[in-house]
Amino acid sequence: MTRTDEELVALSRTGDVDSFNQLIVRWERPIYALAYRVLGREEDARDVCQDTFLRAYRALPGFKGQAKFSSWLYRIALNLCRDWIRRQQRAPVSQMPEDIDPAELLAETEPTESIEDLVARRELSAIVAEAMKSLSDEQRTAIILKEYHGMTFQEIADMQGCPLSTVKTRLYQGLSQLRRQLERRGHGIPELVKRT
């Protein structure tokens, strides 16, 4: 029987480390993905992901369940990302290879996807990552939370500590900026996008 997050949190609070490890297995990928998209570096994202769970484990006695466990985790991860960027004094840079490595391509190939499609997808992914760099931290974070983590406006507002209308503005302005960037680069593969 699969336990809910709340049940696993309750067990973890009693010192059941196995339950907390189940929560890690459940949430490590979303947290890593969030950290990667915000920080842009694989190693940094991995470190932040690990640190997030360590901090969550230590802070578990203080977690009273006012928010969803996942929201609480996201908040910790975002704070760590913010600290990380501040500490490293570096702008987020997406780790996109200059050249496409055939070995990596082979590993990523889906059975139904041709090599041509895969190359195009990788190119577009790199362009999107580059375009995301042109956004402000707030806009980028709002778009990441909305697009890739399916949060509501209210959840993003809570996470970013701003009014609901500010979240909508950030999303609108961020998407418009991205659209301009993508159009400027002249890239877009509608056939592929439609398929995905």
Partner 1 sequence: MSVTFECGDKNALVAYLYEECEPELRDVISGHLTRCDSCSSEIDGLGWTRQRLEVWAPPMPELGFQMPVPAQEVRLPWWRAPLPAWAQAAAALVIFGVGLSVGLARGPVAAPQQASSPRPTVTVPAAPVDTVSSTDLADLEQRLKSEISQMRTTAPVRQVASSTASSDEEIMKKVEALLTQSEERQRREFTLRSVEMARDFEAQRRVDMASVRETVGQFQGVTGTEIRQQREAIDRLNSYIIRVGQQGR
Q: Using CB under 8 A as the criterion, which residues of the chain lie in contact with partner 1 when the complex forms?
A: 17-18, 20-21, 24, 28-29, 32-33, 36-37, 42, 45-46, 49-50, 53-54, 57, 102, 105-107, 109, 114-116, 121, 124-125, 128-129, 132, 143, 146-148, 152-153, 165, 168-169, 171-172, 175-176, 178-179, 182, 188, 192-194, 196
Distance CA 111, CA 21 (A): 32
> Considering only CA atoms, which of 118, 121, 92 is closest in space to residue 106?
118
> 88 or 125: whose CB is closer to partner 1?
125
DSSP string, 21-89: HHHHHHHHHHHHHHHHHHH--HHHHHHHHHHHHHHHHHHGGG--SSS-HHHHHHHHHHHHHHHHHHHHT
> 1 or 107: whose CB is closer to partner 1?
107
- Name the minimum Å distance from CB 104 to partner 1: 8
- Name the minimum Å distance from CB 118 to partner 1: 10
> Considering only CA atoms, which of 91, 81, 179, 193 is closest in space to residue 131?
179
- Name the minimum Å distance from CB 65 to partner 1: 20
